[in-house]
Amino acid sequence: MNDLVFVADVHLVEGDDLAPAFAAFLRSLVGNTRECIIVGDLFNVWIARRRFMSPGQLHLMQVMVEVAASGVRFKYVEGNRDYFVGENWNERPFSEVATSHLEATSGPTRLLVSHGDLVNEADRQYRTWRAFSRSAPVRGVLALLPSSWGQRLANDLERRLRGTNRKHKAALPMEQLEGFTRKAARAGHQGVVLGHFHTQVQKQVDGATLWILPDWRDGQRYLRFGEDGAGRFVTFTA
């Protein structure tokens, strides 16, 4: 089969009971999926330099390398809890890592894919934090830190993220989401795929379709496109 799969917001933590199920999901793609795009926040916090990564994170990446070697192409769109993925994992297992968005095609359907955290331009507090936390000075500090500080830094980042954009997470910013979809449609896309909001949505907006992925860890739901370009939400069962 030549299917295209999207999954988002797995938010795995070290020792997570859900990690084996997600590894089983990845392995289940072999033979029926040509491409899997992870739409951000694979881990609860991911500082993607190898020396800062936990054993569980490194193990899951090895699972993805093995699945990729079996013929599934992986791509990644960085989410609000991802740091420097593209600088460290842009060849194995991912054939492409995007910091803001990428394009995907399934049959006649051209899709714009983004995590979704930057759709709401009114969320200035978060946008400021995002720019700072991925800036060159932060990269410089990371280069000087010993590897043992990685998990401590990740925990601190998680605490800081809890305090950002609470008001803007209380409800879907539908006006901004629909505006984002209309802009994509004018650029020739038939649909938009987002994560971030942890709510399953399939909505027509001026001839284009807005898909918002549910968080995978709550129900193990994902989005699958067949060769005809039609998308449908699916529940993974081991």
Looking at residue 126, what is its pLDDT?
A: 83
* Structural domain of 225: 3-235
pLDDT score at 202: 98
CATH of the domain at 117: 3.60.21.10
What pLDDT is recorded for position 138?
76
What is the per-residue pLDDT for 206?
92
- Please give the torsion angle defined by the CA atoms of residues 47, 53, 54 and 56, in that order, rounded to the nearest 10 degrees: 90
pLDDT of residue 133: 77
Nearest CA-CA partner of 14 in 214, 195, 154: 154
Tens digits of pLDDT across the chain (238 residues): 689 999 999 999 999 999 999 999 999 999 999 999 999 999 999 988 888 899 999 999 999 999 999 999 999 999 999 998 988 887 789 999 999 999 999 999 999 999 999 998 888 888 887 888 788 887 777 776 666 665 666 666 666 665 554 444 557 999 999 999 999 999 999 999 999 999 999 999 999 999 999 999 999 999 999 999 999 999 999 7
